[in-house]
Each structure stands twice: as C-alpha cells, then as structure tokens.
Amino acid sequence: MTVRTAPSVADRIDERRAQGRGMLVGYLPVGFPDLDGSIAAAVALAESGADAIELGVPYSDPVMDGPVIQAATQASLERGFRLRDVFTAVREIRSAADVPILVMTYWNPVVQYGVERFADELAAAGGSGLITPDITPDSAQDWIPVSERSGLDRVFLAAPTSSDTRLRTIVESTRGFVYAVSTMGITGERAAMDNAARALVARLRSAGAERVCVGIGVTTAEHVREVCSYADGAIVGSALVRALADGGVQRLAELTAQLAQGAES
C-alpha cells in the first residue's frame, strides 16, 4: 500500500479560496459502524465532495459530543475500538483519497498512548494533524513542540465567550485553521445557525487569523453556504453521522454531495 504525503490543510483552504468557494470538512468517528465501515464511509466522504476529513477518536467521557455522535462512538467502543485503529484508518483512507485528515481527540488518550509516539505514528500514516477540543494553547506544552518536530497541524478551538487576549493566543498557537465554535454547548444538528459565529470569525480575523472554519450545529447545505460567506470552511459532524447510521454509505454520500454544493456558492 502506498500512502501519499499528507496534504496541507492550509494549502487546501487556499486552493478553495482561489476557486471562490469554501472548504467542507466532514466529521466521522473511527470504528463506526465498524473499522472497515468507517474507512469506507470516510473514503465516500472524500469522493462525494468533502475537502478534508475530521476523524473522531471514540472516548468514554466526551465533553463536547452530542447524542448522535455519542451513540456512534459508544457503539465503536463496544465493538472493541483501540487507539491504534486510528492509524490504520488514516493510512487506509489516505491510500484511497487525496484529502487532508485531521484527528479530533480528547487529550487523555494521546497522553496515555504517549504524545511523541502518537504524533510519529499519525504522521507516518499520512495524517495532517490534531483537533484538540479540551486543551488550550497554554496547557499544550507537551503537544506544541512535538507538533513542530513532526510537522503536524494543531487546531485549537475558539468560542464566542473567549476574550480578545485569548483569541490572539489561539491564533498565534494554531497551525492549519482556527476552529470557531458557532455556539456554546455540545455538538448536534440545528435548525438555524447562531449569529455568534459570524461575530467570532470577525474577531478572529482582527486577532490575525488567516484561516478559520466554523463547526458545531452546521447541518444543511444552506448552513454551509452561510458559513462559507464569512469563514473559510464549514465543519459538519452530527448530520453526517446520522446519515451513516440511518442510511449507510449511500445516504452519507448523498448528503455530502448536497453539503458540498453549499460550499461552492
């Protein structure tokens, strides 16, 4: 198996920006409905229009995940998910699809595995970096130097409640893009986007952010279109996981194609 060199998330955003469109980032958990099924689903995401993939690490004590994602990750854990499955999934997906893959993980599994070991194996598998929702730049002393050495992106989250000083620290410490949380609370599908997201992106731009993607609650193609009118990309999670759970890879691919249309206009 040949694993391509990991594409840069920043370069992919810049490519989409030059094309006059935003970037669609699709989230799926590793191991749901099983390991092979999650790999097939992620490849379908890429083939159906996702510009980058966020692979979630199932965790027994999530702090941000809503009920749809919790159910999927719990099913993965019950079926025997192991952290090494992440590297298998990344390697298999990258061998089939030329998309950046960011791993979304709570920090404890990385620490338990070994930060340097985790980074080295992710880079070797073709991963592009980590999204770390439960650590801030000032609590990432173990991660930042390792990510520098390994060349992995480090995506930190910014919330509407973050101070201007905090936003500047996040912008300075992030590589890839800043993950702007559209609304306070857990992940999940929403009927409408929160106006706080637009204001947060504007504040991040003022703090020096070159690339910002918005997640939490992005559910429909119209949401994607709205987000991409003021940010560089939209991150969709719960809606895609629900599609996979309810209709398998076919329904997932159909929804991804619809969401991708929102990023084009």
For residue 33, is the peptide bond before it cis, meaning its omega torsion is within 30 degrees of 0?
yes
Helix (H) and strand (E) counts for the chain?
Answer: 11, 9
pLDDT of 85 reads 98
pLDDT of 188 reads 44
Which residues have a catalytic role annotated? 54, 65
Question: Mean pLDDT in runs of 10 for the chain (265 residues)?
Answer: 69 95 97 97 98 93 73 93 97 96 96 97 97 94 96 96 96 97 55 74 98 93 95 96 97 98 88
CB atoms under 10 Å from CB of 108, counted, come to: 13
* 214 bridge partner residues: 180, 234
For the sheet with 212-215, list strands across it: 153-155, 129-131, 101-104, 52-56, 23-29, 233-236, 212-215, 178-181, 157-158
Q: Which two tokens stand for residue 150?
A: 């390994």
Q: Is the distance from CB of 128 to CB of 7 less than 8 angstroms?
A: yes
Q: Which two tokens stand for residue 57?
A: 């690490």
Domains of the chain: 9-264 (3.20.20.70)
Residue among 189, 210, 199 at smallest CA distance from 159 = 199
Q: Is the distance from CB of 93 to CB of 40 less than 8 angstroms?
A: no
Q: Is the distance from CB of 208 to CB of 168 less than 8 angstroms?
A: yes
* Beta carbons within 8 Å of 44's beta carbon, 6+ residues apart: 249, 252, 253, 256
Q: Cα separations (Å) of 211 from 46, 156, 174, 245?
A: 21, 12, 10, 31
* 263 bridge partner residues: none
pLDDT of 189 reads 43
In angstroms, rounded to a whole number, what is the distance separating the alpha carbons of residues 97 and 172? 30
Q: Could you report the per-residue pLDDT of 229-260, keeping only the tens digit for each?
A: 999 999 999 999 999 999 999 999 999 999 99
pLDDT of 185 reads 47
Q: Cα separations (Å) of 205 from 15, 59, 101, 182, 235?
A: 19, 32, 24, 15, 18
